[in-house]
Amino acid sequence: MLRRQKLGAPEHKRDPAAHGGTLSMSHNNTRSFFNFSQLVLSAGNLKSPPVLKHSKITYFEVEILDVQSKKQICIVDKVPPSSTLLDVKHKFHKACPQWYPSRVGLQLERNGPYLKDSVNIQSLAVSSIITLYFTDLGQQVGWTTFFLTEYTGPLLIYLLFYIRLSTIYDQVESTKNFRHPVVHLACFCHCLHYIRHLLETLFVHKFSGGHTPLKNMIKGCAFYWGFTSWIAYYINHPRYTPPSFGHRQVSLAALGFLMCEAGNHFINVALAHQNHSGLKACFPSPTYNPFTWLFLLVSCPNYTYEVGSWISFTVMTQTLPVGIFAFLMVIQMSLWAQKKHKLYLKKFYPEVRRKAAMIPIIF
């Protein structure tokens, strides 16, 4: 047994020598493959990164034509689908610097309405080319500037007549004639009315950056400033005649005027809160404030209170110019109320359908 083991041992040792080349090569190959595998695992994926597939964005071309001659003014190209009409106006302004975005009016049809700046350009597209008609709206002013200018004039003009300038009235008559208390009260009420308008323009009403033609501001100023001059001239004249029923007529009318002014203010605050609360839009409902209860009867109570103020001022001063101005205000406010009432019917139909526009039953 011992001998056979000794003889077998060298035989076992000879096997590696006999097949040394083959085993060594196999061992090296295995080791090389192992090292290569480790290299691959440590380096990560050797596959080329996938090519990012960009989403296809369809750009639009906006062709702008003159509304009168139908001639092409310019083409605004590479307009993304997410762009608004205001973005198109800015690009149009870069191509044609003489037309500012605020004075550019764009229409889908020649006789159609002007499109709002917030309109998405994709909603207008029938194909990749959109044709719009251009109208020069003229010089524009912001709504805040419009109302501040319109209301500041009457406030200052009335005060000029109240102090009875020598260039307006005869100084001898001004010093001799005693001023009736209603003259001072009328000045207070008139100034209060326009101061309220100015403060609400600055702190209550919210304007969405819109504009209006300069000619509209000129017409509005001519109307308000002209009537204020006529009204103030008669009320502050040295020969002014007080109301027929004296103190009782003046007191009741002044009380009605103050109540209408307060109601107008609270209604404007309610409307401003309704339009800019950030919640789902809904028609304002009456609150514990009794001045808002008029919402139960009419859809535009701010116009109702505005008309009530001028009717009360007419009764308080008993002058023809104020009466004519109040009559014109009733006509103008009723037209505005009817227009707004139609918009409310479309937006808040169930809540507004049984309400009048400005005055119950009549309007």
pTM of the model: 0.77
Q: Tens digit of pLDDT for each residue in 97-137?
A: 998 898 999 999 988 889 988 899 989 888 889 999 999 99
Whole-angstrom distance, CA of residue 291 vs CA of residue 213: 34
Q: Tens digit of pLDDT for each residue in 277-321?
A: 444 567 788 889 999 999 999 999 999 999 999 999 999 999 999
Residue 131, classified by CB atoms within 10 Å of its CB into exposed (0-12), middle (13-18) or buried (19+), is middle
Class at the top of the CATH hierarchy for domain 60-137: alpha beta
- Measured between alpha carbons, how far apart are the two ends of the chain, in Å? 132
- The identity of residue 306, as a single letter, is E
- Bridge-partner residues for 141, per DSSP? 212
Tell me how crowded residue 84 is: count the other CB atoms within 10 A of its CB.
17
- Bridge-partner residues for 76, per DSSP? 62
Rg over CA atoms, the chain: 41
- C-alpha dihedral over 256, 257, 260, 264, to 10 degrees? -170
Q: Tens digit of pLDDT for each residue in 322-331?
A: 999 999 999 9
Q: Where are the domains of the chain?
A: 60-137, 139-241, 243-362
CA-based nearest residue to 182, from 266, 268, 240: 240
DSSP 354: T
- The residues, any chain, with a CB within 8 Å of residue 270's CB and separated by 6 or more, are 284, 287, 292, 295
